[in-house]
Amino acid sequence: MEQPKKGLLERLAEGVVVGDGSFILTMEKRGYATAGAWTPEACVLHPEAVSQLHREFIRNGSDVLQTFTFYSSDEQLQHVASAVYDNVPAEQNNNINMKTLTAAEVNAAAIDIAQGVAQEGGALVAGSVSPLSEISFHKGKEHSQNEFRKQMSMFKEKGVDFLLGEFFKKVEEAEWAIETMVEMGIPVACTMRLPPSGDHTGVSVQDCAVRMAKAGASLVGVNCLYDPSICLKSMALMKEGLEKAGLQTYLMVQPFGYHSQDPGTEAHPMGYEALPQFPYAMEPRALTRIDVHRFAREAYELGVRYIGGCCGFEPHHIKAIAEELAEERGRHPPSAGALGSWKSLALCEVKTYAEKANWEYWDNLTPTAGRSIEAFSDLAPASLID
């Protein structure tokens, strides 16, 4: 008899959970999404492409598949329909009329895709809940929570394993979302785009963590906008705040997959928004998988037990997390085989490959981009801020 799938909280109690990575940036690079629009209509227009990316994350070690539903709202879909799709032949879009496509249809397809692929690897499916527009937020709590319920309706109908609210810039909105998500009676996780200086209204990182936990989230953390070094600084502050408040809440982190920056003042753009290279010239800033190994280890040692990535984290980055924590998890990701990535290089007859079949070689390597290797507890050097 097949054993029931372990839930999120059960897995966290036993050890570390590896999240998945980037969807919208990766789908744009692969030709299935549009920069600027950042909407997930590919779930309906190109479901095979979405399935393949989910499958690659599972193969590289993901324990969780997030539904590709970020920024899925009727308001946003209609905003881009004419501008993006009017001149695209219908047969290239699965014969779908974008002007009549609804968020409910996109979300239903996204859940079906994620649940189908999750069964291949025993992964959990997280329903991804997005922040609202500034217009909706300023209409107040009741209006905002009704909008969150609209996002959640399909998750409730199809039965996801847990809910994940992410990318909130104001803790007040995160609280409203959490209060709404807990109505479903399943585990709730919530992350914010937080630099160490606090949220967009000046609330400290410590207080953000406490407020999210008290609103009902079993798992709190930070995601996107900032690179691992900055996100881990924020995570340390979150941990501090929760411990001081006496709250036993799991921590999670899913950073941006490129070296970014934290200008530290509200007067300047923040994170990737401050980068002149975003989004079309980011490749020189990309994290190497060696960077991600170090990030995963430092996150784990800090006490973070849900470790994944956000925009820019490709499947091979998730593989780096899973391999770094293979001993703690008791297994390598399927893509690494029994040997793991380092030792597998010894299989090659070329001597220069075999000499690299150990972590020490890679740990002492200076990337060819010229970046110096620094501890992730330090901010990126000024030379990265162009």
The pLDDT of 133-150, averaged and rounded, is: 92
Instruction: Scan for tokens 């881990």, then name that residue.
Output: 232
The pLDDT of 21-29, averaged and rounded, is: 97
Highest mean pLDDT among 103-107, 113-117, 257-261, 374-378: 113-117
**By percentage, how much of the chain surpasses pLDDT 70?**
91
The pLDDT of 60-66, averaged and rounded, is: 98
Mean pLDDT estimate for the chain: 89
Instruction: Scan for tokens 């001993």, then name that residue.
Output: 327
The C-alpha atoms of residue 307 and residue 45 are separated, in whole angstroms, by 30
CB distance 312 to 282 below 8 Å: yes
Residue 380 has pLDDT above 90, yes or no: no
Residue 162 has pLDDT above 60, yes or no: yes
Hey, is 17 helix, strand or coil?
A: strand
In the chain, what are the domain boundaries? 8-341
CB distance 94 to 80 below 8 Å: no
Pairing of strands 188-192, 64-66: unpaired
Query: Taking the CB of residue 347, how many other CB atoms lie within 10 A of it?
Result: 11
The pLDDT, as a whole number, for residue 184 is: 97
The pLDDT, as a whole number, for residue 270 is: 79
pLDDT, tens digit (0-9, with 9 covering 90-100), for 70-116: 988 777 777 777 677 777 777 777 777 777 888 899 999 999 999 99
Length of the chain: 386
Candidates 74, 65, 89; CA nearest to 40 is: 74
Residue 55 has pLDDT above 80, yes or no: yes
Residue 378 has pLDDT above 60, yes or no: no
Which CATH fold would you assign to the domain 8-341?
TIM Barrel (3.20.20)
Task: Classify residue 16 by its DSSP letter.
Answer: -
Hey, is 5 helix, strand or coil?
A: coil
Residue 375 has pLDDT above 60, yes or no: no
Q: Output the CA–CA distances (angstroms, integers) from residue 87 to 92, 98, 107, 178, 288, in the order listed.
A: 11, 11, 25, 40, 38
The C-alpha atoms of residue 129 and residue 126 are separated, in whole angstroms, by 9
